[in-house]
Amino acid sequence: MPGTIRSAGWPCDCGISTNGRKAWTRGWRTSHDPFDTNGINEILEPEGLLYGAGYVYSLKPSFFLARLDEKRRINGFPVYYLGRELARDLLTVAALSQDDRILIRKESAKLFLWDKIFFIKRSGRGALRFALENYGLSMQDTEALHSAFAQISDTETESYVYHELGEIKDRDFDRDVWRDMIASFPHTPVELLVRSVKDILADTNEYGKLRYITREKKSASLAFFAAFLDGLRKELFPEITEAFKAFMHERDWRLIETAVDAGYERAKSYAENICRIYQAGKKNNDMQWVASEIEKQLLEPLGIGKAINATR
């Protein structure tokens, strides 16, 4: 595991500069836990840099350092748009929330979108075709796609903000329970379910990504969402797939609104059941029972093995 990050008055001769000058630590002699993002960013943000750290799937630690291109406030929350990444791991996380800040990693967002487009599953190709047509492109013209790709990615990153905002504002899945369960069941079907339910709530609640897309009538963003939806999230939210198929022909946003409402209610019900089972097991100090009950009551009816392993 990572240890301590120290800053002891060293000059940054690693190519980092701000406003044409070297970024010095000005004699700071402090140490920080690598997950102390607030403390570290108090030092780095004035220099036009931002540091990110956290745990991702299976409690794997993830870190990055990037230039800060722009800072805005959306719905009362600070949103940081990050440019060139000076250090990062192999994960291509396009956006994340950290200490109630929303971080948009523009370089990682491009990698994420590129990979999703070129490794699209057969079931998502119709939606992808529709998305690209909304940008005046075709799936066959890779040269035109390459030329327009940066603009497409920059346009689509705005919807990522609202997924993170929906996650921050979510009150249906108790945040403390969610965090405890992620820590208690890493790299298990339970973790996958818990993360999937949280994601759907973040996309479908009143602050979330799909509400933003519907409100702004962003057809391409909707199509990308439908194209990339897979695995357990697709099993938990079948209404959006069927609604989008009809939407491609009818262009009726009421179809999407109805599907989003249904997806939200189902995810809310799953969250309530997960929390109920978890609290009962915690009371009896029996996490093995929690995993068993969640798998029996919530996962087995979905055929989770089929959902995870499907390649359609």
Contact yes or no for 230/124 (Cβ under 8 A) = yes
* Ramachandran class of 100: left when φ > 0, alpha when ψ lies in -120 to 50, beta otherwise: left
- Confidence band of 5 (pLDDT split at 50, 70, 90): very low
Q: What is the pTM of this model?
A: 0.87
Question: pLDDT tens, 274-301?
Answer: 999 999 999 999 999 999 999 999 999 9
Cα of first residue to Cα of last residue in the chain, in angstroms, is 37
Q: For 154-162, what is the mean pLDDT?
A: 96
Q: Summarize pLDDT for 8-41 with one digit per residue, the tens.
A: 333 333 334 444 444 444 445 568 899 999 999 9
The runs of H, that is alpha helices, within 205-252 are: 209-216, 219-228, 231-236, 238-250
User: Is 243 within 8 Å of 262 (Cβ atoms)?
Assistant: no
Please work out, in degrees rounded to the nearest 5, the angle formed at the alpha carbon of residue 23 by the alpha carbons of 21 and 25.
145
Alpha-carbon distance of 100 to 299, in angstroms, equals: 31
Which residue, chain included where needed, has tokens 């009962």? 280
Task: Label residue 101 by pLDDT band (50, 70, 90).
Answer: very high
Cα 69 to Cα 74: distance, rounded to the nearest angstrom: 16
| Average pLDDT over every residue of 267-274 | 98
Q: Which amino acid is at 191?
A: E
Per-residue pLDDT reduced to its tens digit, 171-191: 999 999 999 999 999 999 999
The pLDDT assigned to 2 comes to 43
Separation between Cα atoms, residue 198 and residue 212, nearest integer Å: 17
